[in-house]
Amino acid sequence: MGKILLTGGAGYIGSHTYVELKAAGHEVVIIDNFSNARKDVIDRLAQITDSPVLVHEGDVLDKAFLATVFASHDFDAVIHFAAKKAVGESVEKPLEYFETNCTGFSTLLMAMKEAGVFRVVFSSTATVYGEPLSLPYTEDHRIAPVSPYAQSKVTCETLLKHLKEADDRWTYGVLRYFNPAGAHDSALIGEDPNDIPNNLMPYIAKVATGELPQLTVFGDDYNTPDGTGVRDYIHVVDLAQGHVQSVDKLIYDNSTHILNLGTGTGYSVFDMLRAYEKACQKPLAYTVGPRRAGDIDCFYADPASAREILGFEARRGLDDMCRTSWNWVSRLRNV
Ligand code: WQD
């Protein structure tokens, strides 16, 4: 087993990945600046894994902080989650997105190189593909980022490519996420956005708890079966397990890979709404509004490469995502 550093390990996907890495027998250390995560996540991770959590509070942009972390531990690999990830916000704040997502990543890679750590799993996104030329998205689909967020992820992927060309000691896994959703079965960790959510499931969750009055469906005139947007939602625990398989591929096979992490199945906004009503056992109010700028009709993954290369299979469906999300938010909000 290895010793793994998780940057942004207190976040939504990072915390779920922490649990799966520990279950797989790895030693894990978290660094997080807690800009988008609550500190009590750490106590809940300790509760789920029944073991103390090694965490250092700090920022990937802080060279001195990273140097102390790498001096304190002999890591076999790093999984890099620490980044900003809201498409809309990136349009308003491109500079902050490039500083955190690109400069943060290059600062981390420099610290890794100085510490002699050359294995990294990078958290990327399906939005690097842009408007689909064909569906499902395969990993060789044209890369055409539209938002500053997506461009920042393409920049990081390109940096990794050039880094390995320059120094073959590097080996990396790029994981292009589709739409993460759901929560841990324990209902002790899950998605907990600070403000009004951009994403569909956390928004519906706040309607279900009564924190928000109704969902606005962003358009019902798309070229899809029920007219609403179709996406490939993947359970966050499946996604986390994909990270374990990816980092194991680096440690045991030294094999670089760039893979979609999705289910291959698309669900509409109305599919999600109905599934959530079933999970929370109550009707959820909604209204149909105008399309959201930048949204596209439909996208979903071809998951074949992740299955062939990692043995990755998403095993949880939309009902699991809604059930675990509802268990999490209803416990969190005492409803
Ligand atoms: C899903 C569908 C909306 C909210 C984004 C990022 C992507 C990734 C996942 C980071 C769409 C509709 C949504 C609402 C709605 N993030 N919707 N009402 O836009 O597919 O992907 O999050 O990696 O990079 O682009 O996800 O959850 O925002 O939207 O009708 O209040 O739900 O129009 O069809 P998206 P989403």
Q: Write out pLDDT tens, residues 36-73.
A: 889 999 999 999 999 999 999 999 999 999 999 999 99
Same structural domain, 32 and 103? yes
State the chain's mean pLDDT as an integer. Answer: 97
Query: Taking every pair of C-alpha atoms in the chain, what is the biggest distance, in angstroms?
Result: 57
Identify whether 191 is part of a domain. Answer: no
Identify whether 189 is part of a domain. Answer: no
Identify whether 39 is part of a domain. Answer: yes
Residue nearest to atom 28 of ligand 1 (CA): 199
How far is Cα 126 from Cα 157, in angstroms, rounded to an integer? 12
DSSP 257: E
pLDDT of res. 273: 98
Same structural domain, 172 and 29? yes
**Ligand 1 site: residues with CB under 6 angstroms?**
85, 87, 125, 127, 177, 179, 198-200, 203, 215-218, 229, 231, 269, 292, 295
Task: Report whether pLDDT(195) > 90.
Answer: no
148 membership: H or E segment, kind and range: helix 148-166
Same structural domain, 241 and 324? no
Closest by CA to 76, choosing from 4, 20, 140, is: 4
Identify whether 192 is part of a domain. Answer: no
Same structural domain, 224 and 237? no
Distances (CA, A) of 1 to 88, 117, 253: 39, 16, 13
How far is Cα 258 from Cα 264, in angstroms, rounded to an integer? 17
Residue nearest to atom 10 of ligand 1 (CA): 85
Closest by CA to 196, choosing from 185, 188, 206, is: 206
pLDDT of res. 69: 98
- pLDDT tens-place string over residues 212-230: 999 999 999 999 999 999 9
Task: Report whether pLDDT(76) > 90.
Answer: yes
pLDDT of res. 308: 98
- pLDDT tens-place string over residues 166-176: 999 999 999 99
25-51 residues labelled b (16+ CB within 10 A) or e (exposed): ebebbbbbbbebbeeebbebbeebeee
Residue 98 structural domain = 3-181+233-262+304-315
Identify whether 190 is part of a domain. Answer: no
Closest by CA to 13, choosing from 220, 184, 169, 265, is: 184
pLDDT of res. 194: 77
Identify whether 195 is part of a domain. Answer: no
- pLDDT tens-place string over residues 277-301: 999 999 999 999 999 988 999 999 9
Angle (CA) 15 19 20, round 5°: 115
Assign residue 81 the CATH number of its domain.
3.40.50.720
Identify whether 194 is part of a domain. Answer: no
Task: Report whether pLDDT(152) > 90.
Answer: yes
Assign residue 219 the CATH number of its domain.
3.90.25.10
- pLDDT tens-place string over residues 236-280: 999 999 999 999 999 999 999 999 999 999 999 999 999 999 999
154-176 residues labelled b (16+ CB within 10 A) or e (exposed): bebbeebeebeeeeeebbbbbbb
pLDDT of res. 110: 98
pTM for the model stands at 0.97
Same structural domain, 279 and 257? no
Identify whether 64 is part of a domain. Answer: yes
Give me ligand 1 centre to Cα 74, in Å.
Answer: 38
When pLDDT is cut at 50, 70 and 90, the band that residue 190 belongs to is very high
* Neighbour count for residue 311 (Cβ, 10 Å): 11
pLDDT of res. 1: 87
Distances (CA, A) of 273 to 68, 91, 216, 305, 332: 47, 28, 11, 30, 20
Same structural domain, 9 and 70? yes
For the chain, the domain total comes to: 2
Same structural domain, 27 and 147? yes
pLDDT of res. 80: 98
Same structural domain, 311 and 215? no
Same structural domain, 159 and 241? yes
Residue nearest to atom 14 of ligand 1 (CA): 200
- SS3 state of residue 234: strand
Q: Going by C-beta distance under 8 Å and a sequence separation of 6 or more, which residues neighbour residue 140?
A: none
Task: Report whether pLDDT(193) > 90.
Answer: no
Q: Annotated active-site positions, please?
A: 149
More confident residue, 293 or 322: 322
Same structural domain, 158 and 141? yes
Same structural domain, 220 and 311? no
229 CA closest ligand 1 atom index: 34
- SS3 state of residue 71: helix
Same structural domain, 66 and 174? yes
- pLDDT tens-place string over residues 96-150: 999 999 999 999 999 999 999 999 999 999 999 999 999 999 999 999 999 999 9
Give me ligand 1 centre to Cα 241, in Å.
Answer: 23
